Structure 1
Amino acid sequence: MKTYLFVKRAMDIFFALFLLLVASPIMLAVAVAIKLESDGPVIFTQPRCGKNGAIFNVYKFRTMICETERNGVPLRDSERVTRVGRFLRKTSIDELPQLFNILRGEMSFIGPRPLLTNYLPYYTDVEMKRHSVLPGITGWAQVNGRNSISWEAKFKYDLEYVDKVSFKLDLLIGMLTIYKILTMADIERVHIIDFDIERRSAGNI
């Protein structure tokens, strides 16, 4: 496994550089579209948990307005998503800036998705194993339901990946990811209660 992870890192760097070169015109066009539609930065950054629990800033194209309330009334997330942002989410183009996270050694193309830092206190010891590998842009959980499965199911798939990580599994995940992007499968963001709130309400603190 150690040998494969070394090879995987080399492949991550190669393909990240290649995709940045190929996708740079698209990324430039997206940046212009974001700036024309709403005020605020082009890139959205947020602290996430990485390998071994290390904290890093994940990069995404901004898909929401920066305004959080209007006339003193808080805006729902669904009300803040821009037209450009809706398209970026539907096509997963909003994830392209994470190629820089890959080059920085903070992420891989494939691995468990990096989650919010405030979730850390609520993992069980077994669930913490998901942080034993680099987080990914896509992963085993994402090709098995993405936004439509429960937290328990997501962690089950994440732990399966950690236990069985291999070139064959990564290739399968990569192919399924491409299929889901092209068919726009599992893109609807089903409302699932935040993980930390779910654990607190269950008394698992």
Structure 2
Amino acid sequence: MAVALDGGISSKDEREAVLAGLRDTPHLSKSKIAPDVLDKLLPDEYVELPRLRRVAGGLGYRFVKRTFDIIACSVALVVLAIPMAVIAWKVKRESPGPAFFAQTREGKGGRPFQLYKFRSMYTDAEARGAQWAVDDDPRITPVGKKLRNSRLDEIPQFWNVVKGDMSLVGPRPERPAFCAAFRERIGGWDQRTMVRPGITGYAQVHGGYELLPKEKARLDIEYIENRSILMDLKIMLRTLGVLKTGEGAR
């Protein structure tokens, strides 16, 4: 199977093969979901997403995107080394537990990878099972709230981009437990994994946490069908605006 530079699938037949494999392959679901969460996230009995028509972006786009991802994130990790050390110290000083947090997410083709963040919650935050972030979430530490408002908790994901797990721009990766539930109630959910996931994305700058999973997935499909260098630049610029205001943070 030919895999594009940014992790996209290069032909219709290959897209069909990947989606068939996703449907037939058991997905990781190591953590249960808190009982009250799915009723809020999946209010409809069943929803069918629009069928993905194409994965946009030619060879030139994919080369520029991957090259920019590697250079930009490598430079950022060097420049932000001292601020990252300060943040890690503040996280550890405030509450017991590690400064960094690794969580399994589903990436391109549904393959699991470890996504890195600064820890922003107390270590027993999910004793009841996997939960969706909400406004004024009591699981979040005071320092964690500041990190989330400014999106600084996402900085360690620059390393995910350098490794090739993620891109700067793409559909936001979800946890296997949530993906398994969404897959049962949202037809075509796996289409959003046809490209590498992103630190930010089209859905994140058009509602983010205010959107239901089905609404995010529709925007992700729209992005995959129309992505371009100009579109990615616009998303990154809008993300910078969100960083300044803290809009939609949880």
Number of the residue aligned with 2:113: 56
1:112 aligned onto 2:171:
yes
- Equivalent position to 2:83, from 14, 26, 41: 26
For 1:65 and 1:183, the matched residues in 2 are separated by 25
Q: Alignment RMSD, CA only?
A: 2.1
For 1:68 and 1:51, the matched residues in 2 are separated by 27
For 2:106 and 2:126, the matched residues in 1 are separated by 28
Structure 1 residues 139-178: aligned runs within 5 Å = 139-178=201-240
Q: Contact conserved, 1:110 with 1:139, CA < 8 A, in 2? A: yes
1:14 aligned onto 2:76:
no
TM-score of the pair, normalised by structure 2 = 0.69
Secondary structure of 2:65 counterpart: helix
Structure 1 residues 19-98: aligned runs within 5 Å = 19-68=76-125, 78-98=137-157
Q: 1:10 to 1:90 in 2, by over 3 A?
A: same
User: Can you give the 5+ residue segments of structure 1 that lack an aligned partner in the other structure?
Assistant: 190-205
Q: Which has the higher contact order (CA 8 A, sep 6+)?
A: 2
Q: Contact conserved, 1:129 with 1:162, CA < 8 A, in 2? A: no
Deviations 1:62-103 (A, max 9, x none): 011113599xx99x9733311110100010000000011011
Q: 1:68 to 1:11 in 2, by over 3 A?
A: closer
Structure 1 residues 130-141: aligned runs within 5 Å = 130-141=192-203
Q: CA deviation at 1:6?
A: 2.1
TM-score of the pair, normalised by structure 1 = 0.84
Considering fraction of residues, name the structure with more helix. 1
Number of the residue aligned with 1:202: none
Secondary structure of 2:205 counterpart: helix
For 1:56 and 1:69, the matched residues in 2 are separated by 20
Secondary structure of 1:133 counterpart: coil
Secondary structure of 1:142 counterpart: coil
Question: Which amino acid in the other structure matches residue 55 of structure 1?
Answer: P
Comparing 61-70 with 88-97, greater Cα deviation is found at 61-70
% identical aligned pairs: 37
Q: 1:30 to 1:157 in 2, by over 3 A?
A: same
Question: Which amino acid in the other structure matches residue 141 of structure 1?
Answer: A
Q: Contact conserved, 1:9 with 1:108, CA < 8 A, in 2? A: yes
Deviations 1:27-73 (A, max 9, x none): 01000101111111111111100001110010000011113599xx9
Q: Contact conserved, 1:112 with 1:135, CA < 8 A, in 2? A: yes
